[in-house]
């Protein structure tokens, strides 16, 4: 199947989704033939599926440094976030009705919180600085006697900026408040340990780390109570009803193993070369969005002041990247993340996110830079 008719396409949108790695493809291909059994059944046909499911659970657990029984498989990062947020609120709302989150969260966090507001939840949205980082003290200041959950993402999907989750978790733990982080954009790119981070819940998405779409996981610290919002049989220790896909979980487990053993240093080098070439060629006509150091190694969010990022991307035929802006009825709205960072509108409207992956090359980066310089 041909994905694009454009000659020599360049994929720089790995924060949206990644290609499936060889390890995932191999284990999933093998499972297509005889992995059809239901993992919850008790007969011979179920045994391979059950074994594959639990092996995958152990691999995911190894990636984040937890016990296998603390991993709940979901349909993806969005469901993992919903389970953490809705499950915590419904299980604790009699003790407290207040949620703290940040101004730069993904819609998979913002939307379930908006839903809970309609049910009476009170929400505090803490700001970020101009680099896109949450100040731990702003979280401490937002805590009340009614706070039942703190949810702050680990790394931002647009800027790649890494949040000080360790410090925020210390504040949450000392106040006895469950702490959740969305690690979909950090796991597999930088070391992620639930104990080092100090979190009670952590969300993962397989397709952000070279695994298949349609599967994710939520780490739930032993003893943390969640009210399931997916009702049926008692799958996943009663946390998430629905027959598990041994095929997809096996693919996720293989991707987690590959991510644990791999590294992103080559990708970091390409990302840094990308920025150096742009800044050398364009000077103050290009601006870095986000923190210069506290970023995941594959993400470069840059703005071209006076331009519109979507228009620039239209001229970069064959280059897959993203803007973070919303387009509707012929109008373009600036990214809410950049608004939260107080980025001037003439800068923020010209933003493009380039997110690199293992298969990218220096030749591709040089080609994109050359074309961008010509356009700008």
Q: What angle do CA 302, 308, 314 make, to 5 degrees?
A: 95
Please write down the long-range contacts of 226-231, taking CB distance under 8 Å and 24 or more positions apart. Answer: 226/83, 226/84, 226/87, 226/88, 226/91, 227/86, 227/87, 227/90, 227/91, 228/83, 228/87, 229/82, 229/83, 229/86, 229/87, 229/90, 230/79, 230/83
Q: How would you label 159-185 residue by residue, b for 16+ Cβ within 10 Å and e otherwise?
A: bbbbbebebbbebbeeeebbbbbbbbb
Neighbours of 208 (CB within 10 A): 27
Catalytic residue status for 21: no
Alpha carbons within 13 A on the beta-carbon side of 323: 22
E strand or H helix at 59: helix 46-64
DSSP, collapsed to helix, strand or coil, labels residue 151 as strand
The continuous run of DSSP H or E covering 287 comes out as strand 287-288
Q: H or E stretch including 255?
A: helix 246-261
Q: What angle do CA 202, 336, 198 make, to 5 degrees?
A: 20
Q: Which of 66, 256, 327, 331 is catalytic?
A: 327
Task: Spell out the alpha helix ranges (H) of 77-144.
Answer: 77-92, 107-118, 136-142
Question: Catalytic amino acids?
Answer: 327
């Amino acid at each position: 199947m041909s994905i694009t008719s454009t000659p020599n396409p360049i994929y720089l949108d790995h924060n949206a989704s990644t290609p499936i790695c060889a390890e995932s493809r191999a284990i999933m291909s093998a499972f297509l033939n005889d992995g059809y059994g239901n993992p919850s059944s008790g007969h011979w046909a179920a045994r391979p599926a059950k074994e594959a499911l639990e092996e995958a659970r152990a691999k995911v657990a190894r990636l984040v440094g937890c016990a296998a029984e603390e991993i709940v498989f979901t349909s993806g990062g969005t469901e993992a976030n919903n389970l953490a947020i809705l499950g915590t609120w419904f299980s604790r709302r009699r003790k407290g009705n207040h949620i703290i989150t940040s101004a730069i969260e993904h819609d998979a966090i913002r939307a379930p919180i908006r839903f809970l507001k309609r049910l009476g939840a009170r929400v505090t949205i803490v700001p970020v600085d101009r680099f896109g980082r949450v100040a731990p003290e702003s979280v401490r200041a937002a805590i009340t006697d009614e706070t039942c959950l703190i949810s702050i993402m680990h790394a931002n999907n647009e800027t790649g900026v890494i949040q000080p989750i360790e410090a925020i978790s210390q504040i949450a733990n000392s106040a006895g408040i469950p702490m959740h982080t969305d690690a979909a954009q950090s796991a597999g790119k930088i070391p992620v340990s639930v104990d080092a981070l100090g979190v009670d819940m952590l969300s993962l998405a397989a397709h952000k780390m070279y695994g298949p779409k349609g599967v994710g996981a939520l780490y739930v610290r032993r003893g943390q109570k969640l009210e399931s919002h997916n009702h049926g049989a008692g799958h996943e220790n009663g946390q998430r009803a629905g027959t598990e896909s041994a095929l997809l979980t096996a693919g996720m487990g293989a991707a987690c193993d590959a991510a644990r053993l791999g590294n992103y240093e080559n990708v970091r080098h390409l990302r840094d070369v990308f920025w150096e070439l742009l800044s050398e060629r364009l000077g103050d006509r290009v601006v870095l969005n986000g923190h210069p150091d506290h970023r995941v190694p594959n993400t470069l969010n840059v703005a071209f002041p006076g331009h519109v990022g979507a228009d620039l991307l239209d001229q970069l035929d064959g280059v897959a990247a993203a803007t973070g802006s919303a387009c509707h009825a012929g109008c373009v709205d600036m990214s809410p993340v950049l608004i939260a960072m107080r980025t001037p509108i003439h800068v923020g409207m010209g933003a493009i996110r380039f997110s690199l992956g293992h298969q990218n090359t220096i030749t591709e980066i040089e080609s994109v830079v050359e074309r961008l310089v010509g356009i700008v």
